[in-house]
């Protein structure tokens, strides 16, 4: 197989699990010159679909066929299936077996390691709502890489080929790293949902409220990127506006009491950011703490 880019190593890549991440990774790696040669999934139709979208990729009936022909096999099944899939296949020395889970350790790949394969984790720190979005969002992501030796170099090179950056994680770091991603990604969605719930109290539908909030959300992300923490924090806590916070608490108590405890808790977590920004002193911080506690 001829690689399209002379910098890309001639590693024949295979996929087991033709879902969102498998399909996006296969398409993008192939586009960067990696020979993606094999795929199998739980259903042949998913594997066929992935193979149709990637030049030179064969769809196989069995997962073993992928394990037999590929130098590097990505296990892109749901997390809960990884260990069983790996345990039921025969692996060989010289090949690599890599999963894309953010929370799973390398323990689930132990049968492949015992058979002489190198094992690793390659987690795209990104959110993929669909295959099309995954193909679009994958380039430029940060990839959490957990492995060593030759495979570490290969995965670092893949992250760079995907126009992304990489961070190396140790075995003990994975679960906290994933919990951090839940704060930054999933809970951001939850916060916007809570915000749109409040808009409904004054008669604006969720889609309309979401549209109206988008420029604010984009502005916040821009400030995070360009100004950084803690200086990007604005709002009543950053300014130390006790009166405004009191009004918020009273309005929430009246119209949305279920959100009060979340507002208080997030407020308490925001006070140290405001202090670090330096616009409030420790006395004002303590007053806000008493108000919110």
Binding site for ligand NAP (CB under 6 A): 16-22, 41-43, 46, 63, 76-79, 81, 85, 99-102, 123-124, 126-128
Question: Which residue, among 54, 139, 143, 140, has the nearest Cα to 101 in the 3D structure?
Answer: 143
Residues listed for the chain = 293
> Checking DSSP bridges between strand 118-125 and strand 96-99, what pairing results, if any?
parallel
The residue written with tokens 């993929």 in the block is 128
Residue whose C-beta lies closest to ligand NAP: 19
Q: Give the C-alpha separation, 123 to 145, whole Å.
A: 7
| Tokens at 293, concatenated | 């506690």
Comparing CB distances to ligand NAP, the nearer of 134 and 233 is 134
> Least distance in Å: CB of 112 to ligand NAP?
15
Contact 110, 133 (CB under 8 A): no
Closest to ligand NAP by CB, 76 vs 270, is 76
Shortest Å, Cβ 234 to ligand NAP: 30
Q: Which is nearer to ligand NAP, 22 or 35 (CB)?
A: 22
Q: Among residues 151 and 275, whose Cβ is nearest to ligand NAP? A: 151
**φ, ψ (nearest 5 deg) of residue 167:** -125, 145
CB of 219 to ligand NAP, least distance (A): 25
Q: What distances in angstroms separate CA 7 from CA 11, 42, 88, 132, 293, one per listed residue?
A: 12, 33, 35, 27, 57
Give least dist CB 75 to ligand NAP, A: 8
Neighbouring CB atoms inside 10 A of 146's CB total 26
Q: How far from 256 is each of 80, 206, 249, 259, 263, CA to CA, in Å?
A: 38, 16, 10, 6, 11
C-alpha distances (whole Å) from 189 to each of 144, 215, 217 are 22, 15, 11
Nearer to ligand NAP, 87 or 251 (CB): 87
Q: Closest approach of Cβ 29 to ligand NAP, in Å?
A: 14
Closer to ligand NAP by Cβ: residue 26 or 292: 26
Task: Name the minimum Å distance from CB 280 to ligand NAP.
Answer: 37
Q: At closest approach, how far in Å is the CB of 217 from ligand NAP?
A: 19
> Closest CB to ligand NAP among 90 and 246?
90
Pairing of strands 96-99, 36-40: unpaired
Residue 119 and residue 113: Cα distance in Å, rounded? Answer: 6
Whether 112 contacts 119, CB under 8 Å: yes
């Amino acid at each position: 197989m001829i690689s399209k880019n002379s910098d890309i190593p001639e590693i024949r890549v295979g996929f087991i699990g033709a879902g969102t991440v498998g399909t996006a990774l296969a398409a993008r790696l192939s586009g960067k010159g990696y020979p993606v040669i094999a795929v199998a999934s739980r259903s042949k139709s998913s594997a066929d679909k992935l193979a149709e979208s990637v030049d030179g990729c064969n769809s196989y009936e069995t997962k073993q066929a992928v394990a037999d022909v590929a130098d590097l096999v990505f296990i892109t099944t749901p997390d809960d299936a990884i260990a069983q899939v790996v345990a039921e296949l025969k692996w060989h020395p010289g090949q690599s077996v890599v999963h894309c889970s953010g929370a799973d350790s390398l323990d689930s790949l132990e049968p492949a390691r015992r058979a002489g394969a190198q094992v690793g984790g390659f987690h795209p720190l990104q959110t993929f709502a669909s295959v099309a979005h995954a193909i679009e969002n994958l380039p430029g992501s940060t990839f959490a890489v957990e492995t060593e030796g030759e495979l570490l170099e290969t995965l670092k090179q893949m992250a760079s080929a995907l126009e992304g950056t990489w961070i190396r994680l140790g075995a003990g770091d994975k679960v906290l790293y994933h919990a951090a991603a839940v704060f930054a990604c999933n809970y951001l969605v939850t916060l916007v949902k809570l915000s749109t719930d409040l808009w409904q109290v004054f008669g604006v539908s969720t889609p309309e409220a979401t549209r109206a909030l988008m420029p604010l959300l984009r502005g916040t992300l821009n400030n995070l990127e360009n100004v950084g923490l803690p200086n990007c924090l604005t709002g009543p806590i950053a300014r130390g506006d006790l009166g405004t916070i009191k009004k918020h608490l009273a309005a929430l108590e009246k119209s949305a009491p279920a959100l009060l405890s979340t507002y208080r808790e997030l407020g308490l977590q925001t006070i140290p950011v405001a202090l670090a920004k330096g616009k409030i002193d420790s006395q004002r911080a303590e007053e806000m703490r008493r108000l919110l506690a």
